[in-house]
Amino acid sequence: MEKLIITAAICGAEVTKEHNPAIPYTVQEIGDEAEKAYKAGASIIHLHVREDDGTPTQSKERFKACIDEIKKRCPDVIVQPSTGGAVGMTNAERLQPTELKPEMATLDCGTCNFGGDEIFVNTENTIKEFGEKMIALGIKPEVEVFDKGMIDMAKRLCKKGYIKTPMHFNFVMGVNGGISAEPRDLVFMAGSIPEGSTFTVSGIGRNQFPMAAMAILMGGHVRVGFEDNVYLSKGVLAKSNAELVEKAVRLAKEFGREIATPDEAREILGLKK
């Protein structure tokens, strides 16, 4: 089986130090967490950035500062900025990190409820706009899907030329408002993507490691990290993203999957270096 790509989603936009004091906010903290996750086996850092007080931002300058800090510590790691940002941000705000021409960025392929009164809005025209921008800038999108219909949206927009093949999907499973994270859900999602595509799985909260284990067995890839889950095991907060990456590495080893280096991940995903 292909080597396993581990993505570390180190801070997200929603979790705070109240959820886990190890959530990184500052450039230094983000650099530290990225470096530890990389050393533990992550080849991709999925990146949101914050102001020093924890407020989520899509500022191009802040992204540049954080990416520079990460690259200083781990020059070969793949940095994948979020274009999802935080609920309520405008498209222009969200697109700012693409101007830095990262190798990858996320492309969210649908709208969904996001808890309480929050709605994460991605209209068809938004997806087209973001897709076109990524093609123009040579950025490989990670197609974020929170439900099966979003796979169908991506397939349709791919046929129309807004997303290039082969597509790489991230199944975000267990968000209140998206698909649940039962084994049958993952089988359904993985069976719904076009031939030749790759996928990674982000299980939310307690779903993180059950979904990771399934993805490892199915030949998919795995995302772990504080953005999706702050616990190492029931009631035990992870001290660092690295602990979550280490746990994914242990599972992979048990199931006989080797861990991809960043360059091997580039090869698997068809990234230009």
Where along the sequence are the contacts to ligand KMH (CB under 6 A)?
Answer: 12-14, 82-84, 86-87, 106, 108, 120, 144
Contact 81, 47 (CB under 8 A): yes
Instruction: Count interface residues toward Zn ion (CB under 5 A).
Output: 1
Minimum Å gap between C-beta 31 and ligand KMH is 19
> Which part of the chain contacts Zn ion (CB under 5 A), choosing from 15-23, 65-73, 78-86, 207-215?
78-86
Which listed range, 17-25, 80-88, 169-177, 179-187, lies at the site for Zn ion (CB under 5 A)?
Answer: 80-88
| 48 in Cβ contact with 225 (< 8 Å) | no
Distance CA(202)–CA(209), nearest Å, equals 9
Stretch that binds Zn ion, among 29-37, 79-87, 169-177, 257-265 (CB under 5 A): 79-87
Q: What order of strands is seen across the sheet that includes strand 140-145?
A: 78-81, 44-47, 6-9, 221-224, 198-203, 168-173, 140-145, 104-108
Cα 46 from chain centroid (whole Å): 5
Q: Which residue is nearest to ligand KMH (CB)?
A: 84
Q: Which does 98 bind (CB under 5 to 8 A by kind): ligand KMH, Zn ion, none?
A: none
Cβ–Cβ < 8 Å for 186, 201: yes
Q: Which is nearer to ligand KMH, 77 or 95 (CB)?
A: 95
Kindly state whether residue 202 participates in binding Zn ion, applying the rule CB under 5 A. no
Calpha distance 49→84 (Å, rounded):
12
Residue 90 or 234: which CB sits closer to ligand KMH? 90
Counting contacts by CB under 5 A, is residue 82 touching Zn ion?
yes
Stretch that binds Zn ion, among 81-89, 149-157, 181-189, 240-248 (CB under 5 A): 81-89
Which of ligand KMH, Zn ion, none has residue 231 at its interface (CB below 5 to 8 Å by kind)? none
Q: Which is nearer to ligand KMH, 133 or 257 (CB)?
A: 133
- Taking a C-beta distance cutoff of 8 angstroms, is the pair 104, 67 a contact? no
In the bound state, the residue with its beta carbon closest to Zn ion is 82
Cα dihedral 204, 181, 176, 202 sign: positive
- The helices-and-strands tally (H runs, E runs) of the chain is 9, 14
Q: How far is the CB of 58 from ligand KMH (least distance, A)?
A: 10
Token pair in block for residue 263? 């360059």
Asked whether the beta carbons of 96 and 63 are under 8 A apart, the reply is yes
Least distance from Zn ion to the Cβ atom of residue 245, Å: 16
